Structure formats: C-alpha cells, structure tokens
Structure 1
Amino acid sequence: MNDETEKCIITRLRSAGCVFAEDETRLLISEAGTPDALEAMVERREAGFPLEQIIGWVNFCGIRIELEPDVFVPRRRTEFLVQQATALAMPGAIVVDLCCGTGAVGAALAKTLGWIELYAIDIDPAAVKCARRNVTSIGGKVYEGDLYDPIPTKLRGRVDVLVANAPYVPTESIKFLPQDARKHEAMVALDGGVDGLDVLLRVATDAALWLAPGGHLLVETSRRQALQTIEIFAKNGLIPQVANNDELDATAVIGTMPSL
C-alpha cells in the first residue's frame, strides 16, 4: 500500500469524525486482504460502523476477542471489572459470566487465572454465536437464554465468581451514546431500563441462589448508579463494596455472599 493511498484514507476517516484516523488507517490496511476489501472496510467506517466490527476482533486485556456484526464491542473500562474479579478468584474457580456478549470477560479471566470452570450466558443469539468462538476454545461453555435460566442447576450454591457486564444505560440516555453504539450494537446490550438498573436488579435478586458461601458478584455500573447498586446488593443478602478507576472511568460494585 503506497503512502498516497494511506494519506487519502486518513483524510477520509478524519472527515468522517474518526479521532484516531492514523491508527485506524494502519489497522484497516493490515487487515484488508485486497484493495477492494480495504475500500469496502473504509466505506463502512465512514458510514459509522464500529472499527472493531469491521475488522472482526478487538484487543481486550491483551487477548484477541473475535467479534460479529451488531454485537456489543467490549470497552476498555471493562478491563477494570476483570481486574477486580481476578483479585477475588483462584485457578479452578467456578465462574459464571452473565450478559457475556462476546465472552470477553470470561475469556480474559481464564487467561489470567489459568484453568477455570467457565459458563457464559447471553440472551442475544448473535452474541452467543460470537461467545462460542471465544469461550469454547478455552474449555468454557456458552448458553443462550435470559440470565440464570439456562445455567445448569448443579451450579446452585457453588459459583465462586459471578460477573455481569449487564446493560446499565438509562433508556432516555441511549440517544446520547456515540452513533456507532446506537446504530450498530444490539439495544438489548445497552438499554438498562428507566433508571438503568433493571437488569442489574434481576442479577442481584437471584445471585444468592447461585453463589457459594464467600462467593462474589461483580457488576460494572456508573458512578452515579453505584449507591443504588450497593443498596440493591445489600437488600439481597450481599455484603457490598464499590471500586473505581479514574483512568478508565470505570466503576465496579462487588457483593460478597456471607460465609457459613
């Protein structure tokens, strides 16, 4: 690929509003097999499709997570959720990744901890298809269904770490999200209901049925929702705490099941 072509793509992406046009151009060029494929990729990016969906993967916690069109793109802030879960888990732990999307959180935990007994669940068929590519290759199991519904009953009271990157954007705030998220990611992965807490409430309500004594539920949320999330955890028998990371603009609420 000659320099003039690269400069032309950079200009086109800048005009389309891409802040990191140079980096994106290099990535598109490296992933395109032919000039025609490159042109098609650039046109999709100009049209507002997420870069990660165009190239088919995203770097998350240092691993390559494969991505399908219309599936929620793992955010860098969610790496903080993985860090918090890693600090609480051990190799061999039973880990359930609810609202798993691509399966990125569970896959990253497996990479960090070594072998874990991993179960990933999502209600979106496209996400489940994607998660199977990322999770089954490392020995995990993926289920399609609504939260806890498809989880094997043998796991009741045995889960060491339950992690959920559930949707937490209030319905009325969806319109303020970046265009690539609003138009090209499944709404079920974004919309958390009127206050953004609908799914988190359902996760917390049944968590005690699945967690082992001393087990942990971890969810990603926003700073403004953290206090309400803490209250929800406490009402459902979990000992809550909140963790923040200013660099990543990330907030995690952690609930611990009391030991026997």
Structure 2
Amino acid sequence: MSLLHGYGPSIIEGTLLTLEVSLLSLLLAGFLGFTGALAKLSPSPVLRSAAQVYTTVIRGVPDLVLMLLVFFGGQILVNQIGPYFGYDEYIDINPFIAGVGTIGFIFGAYMTETFRGAILAVNKGQIEAAYAYGMSSFQVFTRIMLPLMVRHALPGFGNNWLVLIKTTALVSIIGLDDMVRKAALAAGATRKPFTFYLVVAINYLLITTVSIYLLNYLEKRYSVGVRREE
C-alpha cells in the first residue's frame, strides 16, 4: 500500500463500486435486451418500429455523449416536472442511478440484437416437436427455447459484458466515485498519475480475465452434448 501513498483502500472502494455498477447495468441491459428482441420479432409493426428506433439511435450515438445527455437532460427534466408534484427545491440526480440507467439503456440495444439472433438460431423443428409431444407453451419456453437460446446468446452476451465493464469508466465524468475517479483524485494529490491509472488498468484486466474464464465455463456447460464440426 506504500506504493499507493495510502490511497489503496480508496481504490479498492472504487473498484467495488465499479463492480456494483457493472452488475446492475448488466441486469438492466439483459431485461431491456430480451424485451427489445421480443419486440423486434413481434408481429406488431409498432413494436418492431419502436425497437428498431431504439437500437439504431443507441448504436449510432457515442456512449460518452449519451452519458452526458441522460445525466444533464434528466436533471433538467426532473426539475421541470418536480414543481407539479410539490417539489419546489432543486433536485440532484444521483450519479449512481444515472450511471446504471445510462449504461444499462445503452447495452440493452446491443443485447437486443444478441437475443434476437439467438432466438432466430433455435431450431424450429425442436419447438414443433415439443408441442407435438404435448408440452405447454411455458414448458416449451423453459425446457426447450430458453436453454437453446442461452447457448446461442452466450458468445455475444459475453462480449457485451466485457465491453460494458470498460464502459463503466465513463461514470467518473458525472461525479460517481468509481475507481477511475478515485485514481484521478489520488493522482492529483500525489502527482503520480501513471501509478494510479496503471493500477486501474490492472484492476480492469483482472475483472475481465475472471469474466472470460467464467464465460468459457458457461459456454462449455451449455454446449454439453453438442457435436462440433471438425
């Protein structure tokens, strides 16, 4: 810890907050992605169009710009509608909520395409066979569709997760005390930016490395019994 001039605990605290933001953002992105995939595959043209607009806009605007737009735009919106609900004082948006919401919203668009492709990759003959066997729609979804979909979605899901982890570095610009912001404060106080940003880089590398091993395990787990072509 002497190398970090006493800022080690602060960096650890920021790392834990980064992990918390990452996991909650992933949950939100997964929910939005699955919902968006169902909307894109829906027979309703309204739902398909809404999902198409969502994925097109999100994938076309840089993440940093979206982060700033959501944070500052949300701040303006909340304070404009606040008086209608009896809030006359200025309302500050929590950077944690803004960060999780923005990252989850961004990666929900990428997850939409991942889940849509996975659903389309499921062999329709297996679904038809399950119905012919007498399974209910719920049983077909939980026993056939979901496991097969997960198998096809895992590679894209894992890639999105790895990118999402790195994207959490953006929350430092809206004032959230993640490990990047903690490192910036420590670097400013000690005038050793290389040391602290190197530690941040190593922390991100460790998180992504562990994630890769876990994702590889899951891919093998869901590929049991699948014959691979040589």
Give TM class, smaller chain: under 0.3
Query: Which protein has the bigger helix share?
Result: 2
The two structures have a TM-score, normalised by structure 1, of 0.23
Query: Which protein has the bigger strand share?
Result: 1
